[in-house]
Amino acid sequence: MHKFDYEYDGRFLPLNYEEMKERGWEQPDFVFILGDAYVDHPSFGPAIISRVLELNGYKVAMISQPDWKDTSSIDIYGMPRLGFLVCAGNMDSMVNHYSVSKKRRQTDAYTPGGVMGKRPDYATVVYCNLIRRKYKNVPIIIGGIEASLRRLAHYDYWSNRLKHSVIVDSQADILIYGMGEKAIVEVADALNSGIDVKDISFVEGTVYKAKNLDNVVDYITLPEFKELTEDKINYAKSFKIQYENTDHFTGKTLVEKYNDHQYVIQNRPAAPLTEAEMDRVYSLDYTRTYHPSYEAEGGIPAISEIKFSLVSNRGCFGGCSFCALTFHQGRMLQTRSHKSIIQEAEKMIWDPEFKGYIHDVGGPTANFRQKACEKQKTLGVCKNKQCLFPKPCQNLVVDHSDYLELLRKLRELPNVKKVFIRSGIRFDYLMADENDEFFYELCKHHISGQLKVAPEHISDNVLSKMGKPENSVYRAFCEKYKKINEKLDMKQYLVPYLMSSHPGSTMKDAVKLAEYLRDLGYMPEQVQDFYPTPSTISTCMYYTGVDPRTMEKVYVPISPHEKAMQRALIQYRNPKNYELVHEALTIAKRTDLIGFDKKCLIRPRKNDEHFRPDKTGRNNQKNSGKNTANNKNKKTIRNVHKKKKK
């Protein structure tokens, strides 16, 4: 990525015309339209892309959250020399705006002061159409999580329909999917050399449009968009092909036809970054905070979670069905060197706001620090096999020693009181490690009172659809966690993340989860209802009713009322959920859980058909559910005793 001498002047990139003129620029090479506020921190994708372009000698000016109803809001620098870059933000704009119940969220952590409403719905499309109204022929390159996960035809939960590739609706010229550092430099160099944007069809990790397939070779044809809308099974088949082609080594070019003169072509994924390339990306001189112009508005809330956190890896071979990382970062692990991470930490610890706590050292999965197996280094990931599901692969390399060594180095730095691990710990990977050294140090040094883990559910039926290990693995983990803490003489607890209404979850499965929580004596304050975000296996199941991996039918809780009942069961102690829990237990034919017994989830009310007070004033449950036979036997015995007395 080195082509020009890189000189950093300690400033943010221009956010307005005056700042551009201060740099002596007459015209930027690229104007970057952001759906978020401008935060120059490597946890924000636009910060990385803009600094990588700067490293390669390009002038990038930023426009944050422009008024999408006013074309002058994207014209503050005039027309850029090479093109516009567009990113909706660190989150999909619809996930940012709406809860799973499709209610408008009240705050936006990526906007000054947390104010909601500073970006449009479907921001990538809206911003690009705004640019096209002003500049008809300027190159537009889109990227970020929203564009990446909507790069081909996809199910859109908020409109409840199948949508085109975002490159079609946005009128953009090139879509960069994944993390994009290599692709953006190749595209920039091609534009800089005079190649027309319509002819830039050769960059890995990009999607483009074409009128024909004359120049496309070695490709796989996906079902046409019309076929996708006519039969949901066609979408499941298409999604399976896409899922199998997310790896640089094995992935093929994919072609999706829209009509006789419009094709969307997805080139194979870009090569993962080497350790040296990762180190270079994170060594750039980010200011590591938000633009000072936001201070008067209350700053950017999102900075508090990441300012004192360290990214140690990218990618994830965990393979959870509801996670979009396979489509965005891929399953191939990419890691930074210890030296790179320590150097970043040494900058943090002298920050006046640093209180001695490194909030996180991780990534999508904190305790992954190398590729899953030796084969992946040259042949890539397996197309039809998972590394951890349903059981750990026999070729899986399970080793926490490198991560443990890194954490020890960080603990020894001056001013550091505690190094937390807040990004996910994959507990099945931890359990597969025969060496308990990391497990002990995790409990002793890297949590404070409680460890958050994500079993997601306890029903093996649901877990199999989630791509998660059997519940027996989690139970074994809980027991081991308890024993280790006892040996360390520490009172620490587990906080499980649980998900309701995932495809495959019947009402009986939801009741089973509620019983587990009852026995655990724990009621979570928050529950994550399954959220069908673009380009996940789980979302495909939700939309099509089949598992794209096997094409087998899957039960899907779709109605808002059923989803509300499943969610309420997880919080059955909350009085507000009583009616929903009662209805759910009735539907599941588990009214034996309505009563005064310690195994019951809720108590009956006086007008409840199950309410039968005895002489003590306690409930004598009506003959129903599992107690019917017992109640009949008890009545028979009482009648026999009465006859004998007479």
CATH code of the domain in which 334 resides:
3.30.750.210
Residue where a domain terminates, one of 419, 448, 477 = 448
Q: Do both 401 and 504 map to the same domain?
A: no
Evaluate whether residue 102 is within a structural domain.
yes
Sequential DSSP letters for 478-519? HHHHHHHHHHTT---EEEEEEEES-TT--HHHHHHHHHHHHH
Both tokens of residue 270?
Answer: 């870009």
Q: Which domain holds residue 456?
A: 449-574
Q: Give the per-residue pLDDT at 7.
A: 53
Kind and range of the H or E element at 638?
helix 628-645
Strand partners, 32: 62, 85
Kindly report the backbone phi and psi dihedral angles of residue 326, in degrees, each rounded to the nearest multiple of 5, phi listed first: -55, -40
Residues 556, 616, single domain; the answer is no
pLDDT the model gives residue 522: 86
The rounded distance, in Å, linking the Cα atoms of 600 and 594 is 5
Is 433 within the bounds of a domain?
Answer: yes
| Residue 420 resides in a domain | yes
Cα–Cα distance between 257 and 273 in angstroms, integer? 31
Phi, psi of 328 (to 5 degrees): -100, -60
3-state helix/strand/coil string of 348-400: HCCCCCCCCEECEEECCCCCCCCCCCCCHHHHCCCCCCCCCCCCCCCCCCCCC
To 10 degrees, what angle do helices 507-520 and 578-587 make?
120
Do 457 and 344 share a structural domain? no
Residue 273 in domain: no
Q: Which helix (H) or strand (E) holds 303?
A: helix 303-306
Task: Write the CATH number for 516.
Answer: 3.30.750.200
**What's the distance, Cα to Cα, between the start and end of the chain in Å?**
100
Given the structure tokens 């104010």, which residue do they identify? 115
Show which of 399, 428, 448 is a domain's final residue: 448
Distance from C-alpha of 597 to C-alpha of 594, rounded to nearest angstrom:
8
The DSSP symbol for 271 reads: P
Q: How many domains does the chain have?
A: 4
| Averaged pLDDT, groups of 10, the chain, 646 residues long | 51 96 96 98 97 98 98 96 98 97 96 97 98 96 98 98 98 97 98 98 98 95 98 98 95 96 97 97 95 96 94 95 93 97 96 95 96 94 93 96 98 97 94 97 95 95 97 97 97 94 97 95 86 97 97 96 96 95 96 94 81 50 43 46 46
428 with 439, same domain: the answer is yes
Q: Is the peptide bond before 272 cis (omega within 30 degrees of 0)?
A: no
139 closest CA partner among 187, 75, 92: 187
Burial of 229 (0-12, 13-18, 19+ CB in 10 A): middle
Residues 432 and 508 in one domain: no
Q: Residue 638 domain-assigned?
A: no
The pLDDT of residue 626: 44
Q: Which two tokens stand for residue 97?
A: 């705006």
Are both 57 and 198 inside the same structural domain? yes
Interhelix angle 560-570/507-520, rounded to 10 degrees, is 20
Query: 246 in a domain, yes or no?
Result: no
Distance CA 414, CA 194 (A): 51
Sequence-separated (6 or more) residues with CB below 8 Å from residue 197 = 83, 139, 173, 174, 191
Look at residues 413, 448, 483 and tell me which one is the last residue of a structural domain: 448
Distance CA 100, CA 157 (A): 9
CA dist 577 and 358 (Å) reads 38
Does residue 463 contact residue 470 with C-beta atoms inside 8 Å? Answer: yes
Answer yes or no: is 381 within a domain: yes
Answer yes or no: do 429 and 509 share one domain.
no
CATH number at residue 41: 3.40.50.280
CA angle 258, 259, 261 (to 5 degrees): 115
Q: Is residue 440 located within the same domain as residue 470?
A: no
Q: Which tokens is 129 given?
A: 């159409």
Determine, yes or no, domain membership for 629: no
pLDDT of residue 524: 85
Pair (441, 458) in one structural domain: no
At residue 643, the pLDDT reads 46
Could you tell me the two tokens for 216? 């496309």
Question: Looking at the structure, do residues 78 and 195 belong to the same domain, yes or no?
Answer: yes
* Residues 116 and 196 grouped into a single domain: yes
- Whether residues 476 and 466 share a domain: the answer is yes
